[in-house]
A and B are shown apart, each in its own frame.
Chain A
Amino acid sequence: MSQRGHLLDDAWYMDYAAGTLRSEGEEVLLSSHLEMNSHADGRVRELERVGAAVMMMSAKDSDLPFSADMVLDRIADLEEAPTSEHAPMIPSEPFVPAALDQFLLQKNKDIHWEFLGPGLRKAMLWTGEDGEKLWLLKAQPGVAIPHHGHNGSELTLVLKGAFHDGDQCYQAGDVEEAGPETEHDIRIDEGGECICLALTRGKLRYDNPLLKAMQVFTGL
């Protein structure tokens, strides 16, 4: 892991910079992360320079079927047309990054908290193709989510507060990436409640039969 808090692999920043992230869920999670973490943002900016270099080195198409004048005419037409007013930004909760706020506004989605377990709440935000889910997790200080894994992959961005997974500490702006092989042993820090934005594929896998039984109700 990085010495500067928990960043993702450059592979993710490359996907962001190249515009090849697989889903809107990935895009909103990464955008929120970049907004909150200047080191991650710096990495993306470096990679965007690579993208720009590749674009600038593309062999120039010599004859374009359109001209600058045609584009200028189009701009003039567009400016005459009445522009649609942007909907006023509804002030949302302070933990929500602007990128997520905009996403929720665009999807016309409110944050609706539901019971997930003792001291745990979830709010489902978006479901993508192949069962991908974007959701918020709110946990009270000191809550533990003992040994569990995932059948798919997971990205978790800390929006507020902090948690420990084993001996690693994740704070606001940090992201944890987990694959099917990762085992988690999570404890929320005592300082205050912790809110995370999670993107998951596949169901959670609990060793604890009680939690497994509860899974029926939580839908995760």
Chain B
Amino acid sequence: MFVALRSDSAPVRDRRRDPVRERLASKVVIEAEIGSARAKLVQLIERVGRSQDRSAFKSLFEYFAPRIRAYYAKRGLAQSHADDLTQEVMVSLWRRAASYDPRKAAPSTWIYTIARNQQIDDFRRSSRAQQIDEQDPHFHLNDVPTQDSLVERSEDADSVVQALSSLPEEQRYVLNLAFQEGLSHREIADRLGLPLGTVKSRIRLAMDKMRVSIGEQE
């Protein structure tokens, strides 16, 4: 998952107060935390899939449901609508848990795709205009949190957030408009008053940088 900075590749140094070493050490700790958080989520999903384990489901619910609902709300869905869709996602989680393959996607990525598809299906059933308030006045440029504001370590998402926060602002902003506000690349070009080619190249540059720092999903 990480390109470098694994415990076994850390250089051996004697000095006690070595800042490089300290940074490496904390990175290793973070990695271990992320690894165990992820393993725990995988186990919970597998328990639901294998034995319809209600308590495992409740743990997953507590972890994911509030975030899914907040995510829908940020995308401009009315509260009751966000509530309904979030419950649908949790129902899907229950039903599809048996088919979850941890080698293909981290738990959060798997649930994210369920949430996204749920919204698309719902969206195709009704008209777009009724659902999205594109002039949402509550939008802020700094909505993508920096690493410091992380409260909980959440497996894969963590390294991606780090990579996001290291992007130049104009590139991060474009990804933010897409994933948080739900705008297509052409809508982003309209919103920012930029040529389509400029928006496309910002996305390309952002993804080239992200690829280097987040690496492949193991």
CA gap between A11 and B47 in the complex, in Å: 37
Contact of B105 with A51 in the complex, beta carbons under 8 Å: no
CA gap between A46 and B209 in the complex, in Å: 12
B100: chain A residues within 8 A (beta carbon): none
Interface string of A15-58 (1 = CB under 8 A from B): 10111111010010000000000000001011111111111111
Contact of B157 with A57 in the complex, beta carbons under 8 Å: yes
Contact of A15 with B94 in the complex, beta carbons under 8 Å: no
Contact of A18 with B83 in the complex, beta carbons under 8 Å: no
CA gap between A66 and B86 in the complex, in Å: 10
Interface centre among A12, A43, A54, A66 (most CB of B within 10 A): A54
Q: How large is the interface on B (under 10, 10 to 19, 20 to 34, 35 or more residues)?
A: 35 or more
Interface string of A72-96 (1 = CB under 8 A from B): 1011001000000000000000000
A69: chain B residues within 8 A (beta carbon): 58
Query: How many contacts A-B (CB < 8 Å)?
Result: 159
Classify the secondary structure of B's interface with A: helix
* Contact A15-B185, Cβ < 8 Å, known A24-B124, A53-B164, A71-B61: yes
Contact of A22 with B184 in the complex, beta carbons under 8 Å: yes
B90: chain A residues within 8 A (beta carbon): 68, 71
CB nearest neighbor in B for A69? B58
Whether A216 sits at the interface, judged by CB under 8 Å, is no
CA gap between A67 and B57 in the complex, in Å: 11
Whether B21 sits at the interface, judged by CB under 8 Å, is no
CA gap between A24 and B200 in the complex, in Å: 22
> Looking at the complex, which one of A14, A46, A50, A52 makes contact with B185 (CB distance below 8 Å)?
A14
CB nearest neighbor in B for A12? B185
CB nearest neighbor in A for B95? A75
- A-B pairs with lowest CB-CB distance, top 7: A53-B160, A52-B112, A68-B61, A11-B185, A58-B70, A56-B157, A53-B157
Question: Which residues of chain A have a CB within 8 Å of any CB of chain B?
Answer: 9-12, 14-15, 17-22, 24, 27, 43, 45-62, 64-72, 74-75, 78
What would be 26 A-B contacts, judged by CB atoms less than 8 Å apart?
Answer: A10-B200, A10-B204, A10-B207, A14-B203, A14-B207, A18-B178, A18-B179, A27-B120, A45-B217, A47-B207, A48-B112, A49-B157, A50-B164, A51-B113, A52-B112, A53-B158, A53-B161, A56-B108, A56-B112, A58-B70, A59-B70, A60-B66, A60-B67, A60-B70, A72-B94, A75-B91
